[in-house]
Amino acid sequence: MIRAALIIAFAALPVPTLAATQTYTITRFDSVRLDAPIRVAITSGKGVTASGEGDREALDRIDMKVSGNSLVIRMKPRPSGQKGGGGPVTLRLSTDDVRRATLTGGGSLSIDRMKGTRGDIMLGGGGDLTIGAVALDQFNILLSGSGRVTVAGKAGRTDVRVSGPGTLSAEALTARDARLTNEGTGSIAITASATADVRAYGSGDVIVSGKAACTVVHNGAGRVLCGGDER
């Protein structure tokens, strides 16, 4: 009797759903824009591939289009009246090089490296954008959203502008010459080796590590720390 009851109880338990997988066909790209609330991981230095893992309904709605060398990732709307689905999804891509990355909304975009003469990254939503290793002559970073940008590596001239509540976590990035403008409530943390030109107009903090010669204009309420001194 007890054994029969246990069998019935176990049979009633939900069966774990295995993550679905899917491959996609795309062409070469060096610029990416993520407009979907999913996780995307990009590996550079390899041929072009694209695969996804996660909720089947969400995988089927992923829309990737390449125009020129620019890849845009969005989610197709659900068919009218359809409910359910929308579980977590991870999209794994590879390409030769990534020179430009834009994240809007609440997704997550990680790129293993950016190298070359110039790289540009922009965050306009509440998501996370991560660059594992930078080796660039010119690096431009724009944060207008509430998310976080995390960067490591080395760059020559580095221009940063924060105009919202976002966070730049770039202590592991060493910029030779950094030009930093904070007009919002967000924060900037970076390392500079030669020069740092800081313009602080908002209520967010700017913290510059390293031994750079600092030029500071501080008209905001935030804290500015450069060259070991508070300005």
C-alpha dist (Å) from residue 22 to 32, 58, 168: 20, 11, 33
Residue 13 is assigned to a structural domain of this protein: no
Residue 124 is assigned to a structural domain of this protein: yes
d(CA 9, CA 68): 57
- pLDDT at position 91: 98
More confident residue, 8 or 213: 213
Distance of CA 154 to the CA centre of its chain: 18
Q: Give the tens place of pLDDT for each residue, 33-87.
A: 999 999 999 999 989 999 999 999 999 999 999 999 999 999 999 776 566 556 7
Considering 51, 75, 98, which residue would you say is the last residue of a domain? 98
Asked whether 93 and 50 are in contact (CB, 8 A), the reply is yes
CATH number at residue 80: 2.160.20.120
Q: 41 and 131 share a domain? A: no
Considering 74, 98, 122, which residue would you say is the last residue of a domain? 98
3-state secondary structure of 97: coil
Q: Taking the model in full, what pTM does it have? A: 0.89
Considering 67, 98, 129, which residue would you say is the last residue of a domain? 98
Task: Look at the chain and report how many structural domains it folds into.
Answer: 2
Q: 57 and 155 share a domain? A: no
Range(s) of the domain holding residue 75: 18-98
Q: 150 and 81 share a domain? A: no
d(CA 223, CA 200): 9
Beta strands 70-75 and 62-67 are antiparallel
